[in-house]
Amino acid sequence: MRKLLILVGVLLAAHVVLLFVHPAGAASPAIDPHAVNVGIVFDVGGRGDKSFNDAAYVGGERAEKELGVHVRFIEPGDGSDREAALRIFAAEGMKLVIGVGFIFTDDLVQLAKEYPNTDFAGVDFSVATDSAGNPIPPPPNLAALKFREEEGSFLVGALAAMVGHSKKVGFVGGMNSPLIQKFQAGYTAGVHYVCPDCQVIAQYAGVTPDAFRNPGKGKELALSQYQDGVNVIFHASGSTGLGVFEAARQTNKLAIGVDADQYSEAPGHVLTSMVKGVDAAVFDAIKRVKDGTFKGGIYSYGLAQNGVRYVYDEHNKALIPDSVQARLQQLRADIIAGKIKVPTTP
Amino acid sequence: MSASAGARRWRAQLEEAVLPAVVALLIAALVGDVLIIVYGQSPGEVYRALLEGTWGNAYGLGQVLYKTTTLTFTGLSVAIGLRAGLFNIGAESQLAAGGFAAGVLGTLLPPGLPALLVLPLFIVAAAIGGGAVGGAAGVLKSKWGAHEVITTIMLNFIVLALLNYLTVAHFKVFDTLHTADVRSGALPRLSALIPPFHGSAANMVLFLALAVVAVAWWYLFRSRAGYELRAVGLQPGAAEYGGVNVPGVWWRAMLISGAVAGIGGLNFVLGYKHYYEDGFSTGAGFLGIAVALVGRNNPVGVVLAALLFGTLSQGGLAVNALVPKQMVDVLQAVVIIAVVTSVPEVRRVLRSARRRGGPEA
């Protein structure tokens, strides 16, 4: 008995001593009220996804370096953590609180109403519509950051038709949903714009979110399209696309990446990638808050804002002739100028 | 003489209940200290932020109570299984199935019915949802001897995938991952009674959890069926010799275990968001195993353990700005390991000390 009490005493003493250890460089939890403080809450899954959350992180880091703002991040666990994390940031007096992913939509709307003096932003925020189909604007202190994926898809579609040397071009989607159909619609329009008699073979890996992480299915779909005479496939299918790249390598044909520059997945076989600039949108929102020009509403990022773009650099220059690149730049300018209207549904 | 013997026994019981937990928590805290220092932060600051963000204000406390409510259900579910000698790893999917059943029921009811009137319907629906999953594993064990650890793990995959499919393909609201709002039966938040809890997710299901704990305690320790269940858990061969239908107890225990986890889904569906959301309960089922182990399969112990893990879970958010989320996950794991190793060890020391000390015990 006495031994046990001594043990408890020793453990307690050691714990109390360690409580006062203060390593050099330890951050103070108190936030600096004079700085611009920004809180970013990741989607469940958090950092390390090589896509969405990581892109938001990059945007936040860049804002810290270039704008001198303070950015803090929270990775939520279960479903109630999203609101809790937003609330922690709002209650701490952050100037801007960002939720990454459409799943934050409900939580952001509620918090924006409760904290009218805090600015909020939601990446891929899903804007509700009223019974007549008109969008319901978000609260005045909430910015919905949306992307016009169809515009970037249009350009890679035109590129696929121009360098494919085939009347057939391919598309592999992940989960068949309005979001991915936007990619398909833009891509198909781009193909037909430069090659009216070309045929787009569009296939989806499934109807559930699992269709975004099924490389086996991606490879199967891609192989059958390549055998069918397709020379270029654009995938918008998460990690299912890894199978598309595998098929491109195996058949020595070309594939187009999505969301981030996917050149390294299959060097020599990635024609380009349709990049979605989550990092730029996050940076932009932070910059507006710093400059005092932040306004709520729907922000739509397209080619004009560099919110979507296609990759053209030293890695894939050899695959894209100069004349083709010039034509793409012309198409890009035409879309920005409104001369070409890109559809959002196939 | 008998009074002092009673007092001594009471003291011995108190020591056995409290001391192992104290030792385990201190060991866990020390490991946490070292990890935090290695990461380059100050343990004092991190623990202070953790306490401030949980018990330090009404909102944080409300969040702790919300998480405690779900963990009480899943912890109790696992504890009931373990009392019958069955290791239910399936609380994760049983919880989700219960929540899904309640969410779907809520979209089918006519709007505007009084919440108290329809609450029993929701409890039955959630219990059927969770109980069906748990009961399936129970029947597989009773009829064909399939090990419940294997079947409940596999049922997690099957049920979670099925619920995901049903939600996405049939029940979701456009552009979301959740069902439509329940039309009747939504329960008020705790902040309706106690305004400072404003904003926190804690709600009236907390009281339902306490009621279920009381019923479970009565069932386990005061009813004949509960006695049989515990007898099977301690020594199935002896129970069978004593006339207990062991396979019957097995499937009933799994059914009840699953039903209790399923009712936990009401905390999110009726109390918090008023809809079922795919993945709402991620991790709460597995954490229930830890809650049951630390609470030593006792309903009251489960509540206390749920409070501890609820605090750590909410505290993880509060300290996320200082240390990565994984740090709190590791800390939770250390608590579990410290408890399961130090409890028998400390008790052994206590008992041998008493044996040397006198005739008592």
**CB contact (8 A) between residue B314 and residue A84:** yes
Which run of H or E residues covers position A38?
strand A37-41
Question: What is the Cα–Cα distance from A225 to A169, expressed in whole angstroms?
Answer: 8
Dmax (CA) for chain B in angstroms is: 74
Pairing type for strands A308-310 and A270-276 reads antiparallel
The per-residue pLDDT for A151 is: 95
Question: What is the Cα–Cα distance from A194 to A67, expressed in whole angstroms?
Answer: 42
Please identify which residue in the block is written with the tokens 């009747």: B184
- Residue B99: CB atoms within 10 Å: 32
Which chain B residue lies closest to A127 (C-alpha atoms)? B175
Provide the token pair at B176: 């979301």
**CB contact (8 A) between residue A18 and residue B27:** no
**CB contact (8 A) between residue B41 and residue A74:** no
Cβ contacts (< 8 Å) between A26 and chain B: which residues?
40-42, 45
Average pLDDT over residues B103-124: 93
Question: What is the Cα–Cα distance from B68 to B48, expressed in whole angstroms?
Answer: 21
What is the sign, positive or negative, of the torsion defined by CA atoms of B169, B171, B174, B176? negative
Residue A342: name the closest of A168, A192, A236, A146 by CA.
Answer: A192
Complex ipTM above 0.85?
no
Which chain B residue lies closest to A211 (C-alpha atoms)? B165
* Residue A198 φ then ψ, to 5°: -75, 155
**CB contact (8 A) between residue A29 and residue B63:** no
Q: How do residues B221-279 score in pLDDT, each as one tens digit? A: 999 999 999 999 999 999 999 999 999 999 999 999 999 999 999 999 999 999 999 88
The answer to whether the beta carbons of residues B185 and B117 sit under 8 Å apart is no
Q: Could you say which DSSP state residue B347 is in?
A: H
Best interface-test mutation with B: which of A5, A16, A80 has the largest number of B CBs within 10 A? A80
Question: What is the Cα–Cα distance from B134 to B159, expressed in whole angstroms?
Answer: 11
Q: Enumerate domains of chain A plus CATH numbers.
A: 37-147+280-301 (3.40.50.2300), 149-275+312-337 (3.40.50.2300)
* Residue B269 φ then ψ, to 5°: -75, -50
Which chain B residue lies closest to A125 (C-alpha atoms)? B175
Alpha carbon B8 to its chain's center:
33
The DSSP bridge partners found for residue A96 are A38, A119
Question: What is the Cα–Cα distance from B39 to B25, expressed in whole angstroms?
Answer: 21
The answer to whether the beta carbons of residues B46 and B36 sit under 8 Å apart is yes
User: What are the angstrom distances between the C-alpha of B265 and each of A43, B206, B324?
Assistant: 22, 12, 28
Residue A229: name the closest of A266, A205, A200 by CA.
Answer: A200
Please identify which residue in the block is written with the tokens 């229930």: B288
- Residue B141: CB atoms within 10 Å: 22
The per-residue pLDDT for B345 is: 79
Maximum mean pLDDT: which of A19-28, A292-301, B132-141, B322-331: B132-141
User: What are the angstrom distances between the C-alpha of B293 and each of A245, B38, B80, B286?
Assistant: 47, 29, 11, 12
**CB contact (8 A) between residue A29 and residue B272:** no
**CB contact (8 A) between residue A84 and residue B45:** no
Q: Is the pLDDT of residue A20 over 80?
A: yes
Cβ contacts (< 8 Å) between B66 and chain A: which residues?
80
Provide the token pair at B180: 């439509």
Which chain A residue lies closest to B37 (C-alpha atoms)? A23
Across the A:B interface, residue pairs with CB atoms under 8 Å apart total 141
Residue A284: name the closest of A86, A139, A145 by CA.
Answer: A145
Q: Is the pLDDT of residue A39 over 90?
A: yes
Question: What is the Cα–Cα distance from A287 to A304, expressed in whole angstroms?
Answer: 18
Contacts with A313 (C-beta within 8 Å, 6 or more apart), sequence order: none
Length of chain A: 346
* Residue B178 φ then ψ, to 5°: -130, 165
Best interface-test mutation with B: which of A16, A18, A94 has the largest number of B CBs within 10 A? A18
Q: Is A270 left (phi over 0), alpha (psi -120 to 50) or beta?
A: beta
Cβ contacts (< 8 Å) between A87 and chain B: which residues?
59, 199
**CB contact (8 A) between residue B175 and residue A77:** no
* B117–chain A nearest CA distance, Å: 27
Query: Sorting pLDDT into bands at 50, 70 and 90, what band is A50?
Result: low
Q: Which candidate from B42, B53, B59 shows the least CB-CB separation from A22?
A: B42
Q: Which candidate from A23, A102, A103 shows the least CB-CB separation from B42?
A: A23
Average confidence score pLDDT of chain A:
89
* Residue A207 φ then ψ, to 5°: -120, 5
Residue A300: name the closest of A158, A133, A139, A123 by CA.
Answer: A123
Best interface-test mutation with A: which of B50, B177, B320 has the largest number of A CBs within 10 A? B320
Q: Enumerate domains of chain B plus CATH numbers.
A: 1-41+323-361 (no CATH), 70-319 (1.10.3470)
Q: How do residues B307-345 score in pLDDT, each as one tens digit? A: 999 999 999 888 887 888 888 888 888 888 888 888 777
Best interface-test mutation with B: which of A6, A19, A213 has the largest number of B CBs within 10 A? A19
Q: How do residues A132-155 score in pLDDT, each as one tens digit? A: 777 788 899 999 999 999 999 999
* B360–chain A nearest CA distance, Å: 14
DSSP A150-214: HHHHHHHHHHHHHHS-SSEEEEEEEE-SHHHHHHHHHHHHHHHHH-TT-EEEEEEEESSGGGGS-
Question: What is the Cα–Cα distance from A212 to A241, expressed in whole angstroms?
Answer: 8
Q: What percent of chain A has pLDDT over 70?
A: 95
Q: Is the pLDDT of residue B359 over 50?
A: no
Question: What is the Cα–Cα distance from A7 to A13, expressed in whole angstroms?
Answer: 10
* A211–chain B nearest CA distance, Å: 11
Residue A139: name the closest of A163, A166, A107 by CA.
Answer: A107
> Rg of chain A's alpha carbons, rounded to an integer?
24
**CB contact (8 A) between residue A11 and residue B23:** yes
Dmax (CA) for chain A in angstroms is: 90
**CB contact (8 A) between residue A18 and residue B199:** no
The per-residue pLDDT for B357 is: 63
Which run of H or E residues covers position A235?
strand A232-236
Which chain B residue lies closest to A20 (C-alpha atoms)? B44
Average pLDDT over residues B195-216: 94
Best interface-test mutation with B: which of A75, A81, A107, A131 has the largest number of B CBs within 10 A? A81
Cβ contacts (< 8 Å) between B323 and chain A: which residues?
none
Q: How do residues A203-258 score in pLDDT, each as one tens digit? A: 999 877 678 888 999 999 999 999 999 999 999 988 889 999 999 999 999 999 99
The per-residue pLDDT for A28 is: 61
Question: What is the Cα–Cα distance from B330 to B308, expressed in whole angstroms?
Answer: 15
Q: Which candidate from B30, B47, B322 shows the least CB-CB separation from A14?
A: B30
Which chain A residue lies closest to B163 (C-alpha atoms)? A208
Which chain B residue lies closest to A111 (C-alpha atoms)? B199
* A48–chain B nearest CA distance, Å: 13
Cβ contacts (< 8 Å) between B354 and chain A: which residues?
1
